[in-house]
Structure 1
Amino acid sequence: MTDNTPATQVKLLTKLPAPANAPPPLASGIVSLFADDNWNSQRLDLNTNDASSGDRPTIKRSALDNATYVAFNLPIGKVVTLMDNVQPVPAGKPAADLSGCGRTVDLVGTGNTESVDLQSVNMNDCVSSFSFREVDLNMGAIELFEDADFNGGRTTIFLSEWNSGVTYSIGDWWITDAVSSVRWKSLNDRQAAVLADNWDGSGDNFPNIKGWGGTKESSDLGDDASFNDQMSSFRWDGIVPALEIIAPFNIVLSGGSTSSGLTSVVSGTNNSTLAQPVTVTLTNTDAQTLTVTTMDEQVTGLKSTQTMEETAGDPGIASASTTWAIELSYTYTQSTTKETSGMTTIDLSISQTVNAPPQCFYTATLLVQIGKIPPKVYTTTAQRWYKVPVSGGVMDPLNNNWYQRVESVSVSVTGSLASSTTVNIVSTPLTS
């Protein structure tokens, strides 16, 4: 499984057709609209640093429907969609929904100054407003083109903006019933998608969009699948493991990471001429908490279990440090509800035994130090088996010939756990 970064993902997207001459350099966050097909024509600068993700500002009246060249410098992961119509986000729909927006073109940030000739994407003298948003490029994208060979108008579906397992209609988008070619080079091999003829996903379809395998595009949907100018809806699905074993990982805490302490005290008298064992017990139900968040976008449910192991220290110290073994359990369902973060409250119950000297009054004290875990990303591995031939997967004859491979698993962990325990006893001899 390729571990892509946003920087590598953006390079997999089709570059917009740019003018022959390089645009003027721009500061980050700026989109510049030029009235004519040269960089010296009337210019309007749009500053996305002043916009919030999901905003749809309207272009100034003086520049409305009057742009031919566009230069832009956007950070990686930022997208500006130039739109033909002034259209607010439809109620109850995501900011990426292009219903009623007319012709559009997506400007995807690369961290450098880029440009596009709007004449080449059927957007000349069409820009009336724009949508600014942040997207997770690691989730991949599907690029739709009005013409064969990836030409003409285009629209990009960033999967991070759409729930998996849900059919979405594009019936009110400009590009509906007008898609002639498609690319999906940035999908990872645990994703698949279907383009369908009807708004509800029924009718003819193009089911060949898969993150695995060697085919990542169709330059002519009419020739490849008799599906030219038919797309009215889409759906994407995460390819989930048929079997999964996630290796536990350890968090080691010591007294140096203490954020608070809990104590329990037992006092008494040993009238015997022999030393006697004294047991001190401490219980608590809310001092220990752990929040675990997975980075896996395909996960819809997360559980974690914790096991504590104490390490013996110096004499008189019951434990010098504590190791917590964290085990993860993922669930994958076709659901729009995702629980990729879970907080667990862990009951604390510790008993320690020390010897009270003979013929004495004694006070035994148990101190449990609670260590604060700062937010940190921990990495482990998962053995996963898939029913489809994912990249690097090896057929496993012991498990239905599923495709097995080892993948990296990253989770963010924060909270407070017992970091060490100390028990000591103070005694005073009995007087005759």
Structure 2
Amino acid sequence: MTDSTAASQVVLLTKLPGTSESPPSLPSGTVSLFADNNWANSRLDLNIDDFGPGSRQTLKSYMLDQATYVAFNLPIGTVMTLMDNIQPVQDGKSVADLSNCGRCVDLVGTGNTESLNLESVNMNDCISSFFWRTVDLNMGAIEMFDDVDFNGGRTTIFLSEWNSGQIYPVNNWWLQDKVSSIRWKSLNDRQKATLFDNSDGTGNEYDNIKGWGNIKEIANLGDDATFNDQMSSFRWDGITPEKEIIAPFNIVLGNVSSSSGLTSVISGTNSSSLAQPVTVTLTNSDAQTLTITTLDQQVQGITSTQTLSESAGVPGEDSASTTWAIALSYTYTQSTTKTTTETTTIALAISQTVNAPPETSYTATLLVNIGKIPPKIYKTTAQRWYKVAVTGGMVDPSNNNLYLRVEPVSVSITGSLASSTTVNIVSTPLTKS
């Protein structure tokens, strides 16, 4: 398993059928509709900055059901869906639910100007409305086509817009009982999906949509799967590890530019003729907080533990850095609440020992700087064991012949932690009587 990016994911999606002539160059964030099969006649420009994300909009009257050519330049991760019908979002539904929207086509941003011939996707003179949004392409997508060999009308199901483990009916979608070919090249090998004949997830099904293995498309659902023109609902699921060990990692903090200080002071008298150790302790219950966000979208819950593994100050010298050891634990069980971010308050207890000179009165001061940690991505690895033969997995006889794979783990961390400590002592010789 390798880290993917939105840029690497978008090239795995099927390119829309373009036009014979190159489209006019467009600025980023622009979609242009043209009434004829050329770039010269009636035109409507749509800029995403002029419309809120996830809000369905109606075209201006002169372009209603008139468009034949489309040119678009959208940022990677931005998707605009062109719709046949003028249909508000239904109560309780997401904007991605295409019920009663008629024929639709998704314009997936590549960062470059692209073209689309609407005649090739059976949508000539059909466009009446549209909406745009930002999609997490790293979650993968399933592309569905009206015709065999990935032709005709098409709809893309972006998994980030649908909860895992839940059956979604496509009643009143244009593609209901029309899907003849499918493609899922952008799924990662910890995902699978199932298409169902009935809207409640019953009846005949096609359940070989999975991120691992060699099959990433079906060109003819009739010949290859006996499932042509049957899809009425779908569900996707994350493949969760049977066992997981995430390697701990360290956060090393020195003098952070944005910080505040806590102090503890102890005073006393050393009447002896020998230096005596003096311990200064500082405790605080709420100065330290840490927010950790996992970048793994299949995680349902995250917990962490933090241990201050080093803290040492040298009297009278520059303060020493602190090292925090971070251990992570993930949960994958589907629940009504998904938590990919954890914020914890960490109790602070630091003790330092210095020597009080003989025959002196003294004041020992411990200073702990609380540094503001700017958002940063930290990377570690996880050993994960699976029941299925994930790509690169090796059979592990010591763990019931599960498939073991070492995978990258990335988390974003911000907060406030003890970043450095300084201890010093000021002494005054005792007055001899």
Q: Which bracket does the TM-score occupy, shorter chain normalised? A: over 0.9
Q: What are the equivalent positions in structure 2 for 1:232-251 lying under 5 Å apart?
A: 232-251=232-251
Counterpart-to-counterpart distance in 2, 1:162 and 1:142: 12
In structure 2, relative to structure 1, the CA distance for the partners of 1:83 and 1:34 (3 Å cut) is same
Counterpart-to-counterpart distance in 1, 2:308 and 2:28: 48
Counterpart-to-counterpart distance in 1, 2:336 and 2:178: 29
SS of match in other structure, 2:49: helix
SS of match in other structure, 1:32: strand
Unaligned runs of 5+ in 2: none
User: Offset of 1:274 from its aligned partner?
Assistant: 3.5
- Residue 209 of structure 2 corresponds to 209
- Residue 428 of structure 1 corresponds to 428
Percent of aligned positions that are identical: 73
User: Offset of 1:103 from its aligned partner?
Assistant: 0.7
SS of match in other structure, 2:142: strand
- Residue 143 of structure 1 corresponds to 143
Counterpart-to-counterpart distance in 2, 1:277 and 1:36: 89
- Residue 55 of structure 1 corresponds to 55
- Residue 361 of structure 1 corresponds to 361
Whether contact under 8 Å (1:311, 1:319) holds in the other structure is: no
Match for 2:232: what amino acid? S
Counterpart-to-counterpart distance in 2, 1:48 and 1:231: 32
Whether contact under 8 Å (2:69, 2:117) holds in the other structure is: yes
Whether contact under 8 Å (2:78, 2:133) holds in the other structure is: yes
SS of match in other structure, 1:404: strand
Q: What are the equivalent positions in structure 2 for 1:58-77 lying under 5 Å apart?
A: 58-77=58-77
User: Offset of 1:313 from its aligned partner?
Assistant: 5.4
- Residue 110 of structure 1 corresponds to 110
Decide which moves more: 345-354 or 210-219.
345-354
In structure 2, relative to structure 1, the CA distance for the partners of 1:112 and 1:255 (3 Å cut) is closer
Counterpart-to-counterpart distance in 2, 1:258 and 1:2: 35
SS of match in other structure, 2:399: coil
Counterpart-to-counterpart distance in 2, 1:236 and 1:137: 15
User: Offset of 1:294 from its aligned partner?
Assistant: 0.7
- Residue 409 of structure 1 corresponds to 409
- Residue 134 of structure 1 corresponds to 134
Whether contact under 8 Å (1:370, 1:420) holds in the other structure is: yes
User: Offset of 1:175 from its aligned partner?
Assistant: 0.8
User: Offset of 1:41 from its aligned partner?
Assistant: 2.3
In structure 2, relative to structure 1, the CA distance for the partners of 1:424 and 1:237 (3 Å cut) is same
Counterpart-to-counterpart distance in 2, 1:401 and 1:237: 23
User: Offset of 1:91 from its aligned partner?
Assistant: 1.6
Counterpart-to-counterpart distance in 2, 1:110 and 1:258: 39
- Residue 20 of structure 1 corresponds to 20
Decide which moves more: 320-329 or 36-45.
36-45
Match for 1:42: what amino acid? S
User: Offset of 1:234 from its aligned partner?
Assistant: 0.6
SS of match in other structure, 2:57: coil
Computed over aligned residues only, the root mean square deviation of the Cα atoms, in angstroms, reads: 1.6
Which whole-Å deviations, capped at 9, do the CAs of 1:353-401 have from their partners, x for residues lacking one? 2232333222111111212211110111111111111111111111111
In structure 2, relative to structure 1, the CA distance for the partners of 1:21 and 1:251 (3 Å cut) is same
TM-score (norm 2): 0.96
User: Offset of 1:318 from its aligned partner?
Assistant: 10
Counterpart-to-counterpart distance in 1, 2:124 and 2:42: 15
Whether contact under 8 Å (1:258, 1:369) holds in the other structure is: no
Which whole-Å deviations, capped at 9, do the CAs of 1:62-120 have from their partners, x for residues lacking one? 11111111111111111111101111112222211111111111111111111111111
SS of match in other structure, 1:94: coil
- Residue 197 of structure 2 corresponds to 197
Match for 2:194: what amino acid? V
- Residue 348 of structure 1 corresponds to 348
Match for 2:390: what amino acid? V
- Residue 154 of structure 2 corresponds to 154
Counterpart-to-counterpart distance in 2, 1:141 and 1:224: 21
The number of residue pairs the alignment matches comes to 432
Counterpart-to-counterpart distance in 1, 2:417 and 2:377: 17
Matched, 1:86 2:86: yes
- Residue 293 of structure 2 corresponds to 293
Whether contact under 8 Å (2:83, 2:127) holds in the other structure is: yes
Whether contact under 8 Å (2:195, 2:231) holds in the other structure is: yes
User: Offset of 1:270 from its aligned partner?
Assistant: 2.7
User: Offset of 1:255 from its aligned partner?
Assistant: 2.9
Match for 1:208: what amino acid? N
Unaligned runs of 5+ in 1: none
Whether contact under 8 Å (2:290, 2:344) holds in the other structure is: yes
SS of match in other structure, 1:240: coil
User: Offset of 1:417 from its aligned partner?
Assistant: 1.1
Matched, 1:226 2:226: yes
SS of match in other structure, 2:44: strand
